[in-house]
Amino acid sequence: MPAPRGAYARWRQRFFHLAPGDRERVVLGHSRIYILPSRRGWTMIATLAIMLVTSLNYALSLGFGVTFLLAGLIAATLLHAYRNLAGVEIRPLAASETYAGGRIAYALTIVAGTRERESIELTAPGCEPVVADVAPGGSANVRLERDAPRRGRLALGRVCLSSTQPLGLWRAWSYVHFPLAGVVYPAPEPGAPPLPRGADGQDLSAPGRGEESEFAGLRGYQPGDPPQRVAWKAVARGAGWYTKVFDGTGGGGQVVLSWAALPPALGDEARLSRLTAWVLAAERAARPFALSIPGASLPAGHDRDHRRAALTMLALASCGERG
């Protein structure tokens, strides 16, 4: 019976937002807000029920008055609990990048609208709850963090906005699900071997060719040069922008980081970790590098965007998932 299953799936997505169906921004309206009594609220309702039965049994006029007064108070807090979420606008901002074993962060913005929003709690799978207060007409940036144990693309998932204000008698909540995902890079191999030889045969691992090599001069600054190589003293004097060149680091030529050139004994994930360490080492040494793995390749480059593209390619590589 495919039709009922399809209808049930649509119903679940409609009410619980299990799949990312929201895009740039969401304004919470009555169709997206759900309300149920909290534990305190259920206790209060049960107490009122006992008070009502007792008043009926003993014909206590004062008991009726107190019972209906408290019932009106509970009904009023129901409306205020709804109004604390109604009209809230939430927008996705960005997701961070990290290495496997670290933590990844997601940024969202809450816009209050015309009313003050008190104690709005945001939760997502694997993330610790975050509580935000937003002044009328203002906005607040919220940061949700979670562990990233494995490489790949890590989605934020469904976010729940909830509030128990005022008095904590009712819990109002709503779901939003943005297609917001961060990238988890492979963890760099600790103590990785030196970079392979460059295209012209020079090797930074040779004596006098490493990070401790001698200063060889200055060259014109190029976008993407590492900040630690910039001649900041020359910049401060107003002499222009230059990059320091060290013997063996500026003229080592481009290096090719190839999956096929790694030892066959290394496993897939170990190869990705070593290539990640080499990408970072090539950036520190200001050496252009090309990257080649099964199913993907990257031409030579040396700026930050090139480094990010290389790490992203390693993070999303399917070669490490072969059976």
Dihedrals phi, psi of 246, to nearest 5 degrees: -105, 150
Residue 228 CB coordination number (10 Å)? 9
Rg (CA), the chain: 30
**Can you tell me the distance from the alpha carbon of 157 to that of 43, in angstroms, rounded to the nearest whole number?**
33
CB 110 within 8 A of CB 140: yes
Residue 288 CB coordination number (10 Å)? 19
Q: What is the pLDDT of residue 11?
A: 81
Q: List all residues 6 or more positions away from 173 whose beta carbon is below 8 Å from its beta carbon.
A: 33, 34, 35, 85, 160, 161, 162, 163
The Cα-based distances of 303 to 3, 35, 255, 288 in angstroms read 53, 51, 14, 8
Q: What is the pLDDT of residue 236?
A: 79
DSSP-derived secondary structure for 41-63? HHHHHHHHHHHHHHHHHHT-HHH
Give pLDDT tens digits along the chain (323 positions).
Answer: 444 567 888 888 877 888 888 888 999 999 999 999 999 999 999 999 999 999 999 999 999 999 999 999 999 999 999 999 999 999 999 999 999 999 999 999 999 989 999 999 999 999 999 999 999 999 999 999 999 999 999 999 999 999 999 999 999 999 999 999 999 999 999 988 888 876 544 444 443 344 445 565 676 776 666 777 788 877 777 777 877 766 544 445 689 999 998 988 889 999 999 999 999 988 888 888 999 999 899 998 888 899 999 999 999 998 644 43
CB 228 within 8 A of CB 222: no
Number of helices and strands in the chain (H, E): 6, 17
Q: Which residue has the tokens 């816009």?
A: 111
Rounded to a whole number, what is the distance in angstroms from the first to the last CA of the chain?
35
Q: What is the pLDDT of residue 217?
A: 64
Q: What is the pLDDT of residue 138?
A: 95
Residues in the chain: 323
Domain boundaries, the chain: 1-182, 215-321
Global confidence as pTM: 0.78
